[in-house]
Structure 1
Amino acid sequence: MNKWYSEGLIDKELLSRQEPDYKAAIFNDKVGATSHWIGFVAGFNDLPEAKKIKGFHFEVTNPPVLNKGDKALTNLQQLITVPWAWGISKNNKNVEATMKLFDYVYSNEGQLL
């Protein structure tokens, strides 16, 4: 993915692009593939803007892998590892105990719990 990004194959504004700009890029034929919530793009094929682009057809595909036969890292796998964000407030009077809790949650025993 880093190679694709470096080669300009991945939009440099991928993570900051707002919906109107995102849709404009798609319907100005500047997007060949995207990674987005399927419910958001499911109806794109039927929009009038899409009908103006010859060959326009969004289709769900498997996530990319580096080598043929590799198993793709999916969102489900990521949720198992990092299901939420953690933070420690500046007002926390028990930072060390909080860190021990964080460490425990990511331990084998904590994951099973």
Structure 2
Amino acid sequence: MKNNILITTEYLDSREKATIKAGYSSPKWIGYCREVMSKGIRVEMYEAKSTVSKYIYSIQGNKVFKVRFSNHRPNKFKQQMNDCDFFVGVSNGLVTRTEDALKATMEYFSIRN
């Protein structure tokens, strides 16, 4: 997972502050990361250069769960090839929310709320 950055609370605070200062609400991916990290799971992110997509990697031991946050549909071929374990937003065929991604992530890591 080269080019990924390790997500820390400080990083999330900085990104959230900048977004709010620009007049926007806190991004959903930040809330997702905070919740996953609160369960003791390491989080890394790849931020696409040409789109606003964020690829969030939740890592515990040798298990990795990849969630894509985006404001556009994923490439159909990539989605069919299971490019990610979960897509947040509009995908080809359905719409999913951050809460759905959190539930899927917790189930993947066998974490009960």
Fold agreement, TM-score > 0.5: no
User: RCO greater where, 1 or 2, for CA within 8 Å and sep 6 or more?
Assistant: 2
- Decide which structure has greater helix share: 1
What is the TM-score with the length of structure 2 in the denominator? 0.25
What is the TM-score with the length of structure 1 in the denominator? 0.25
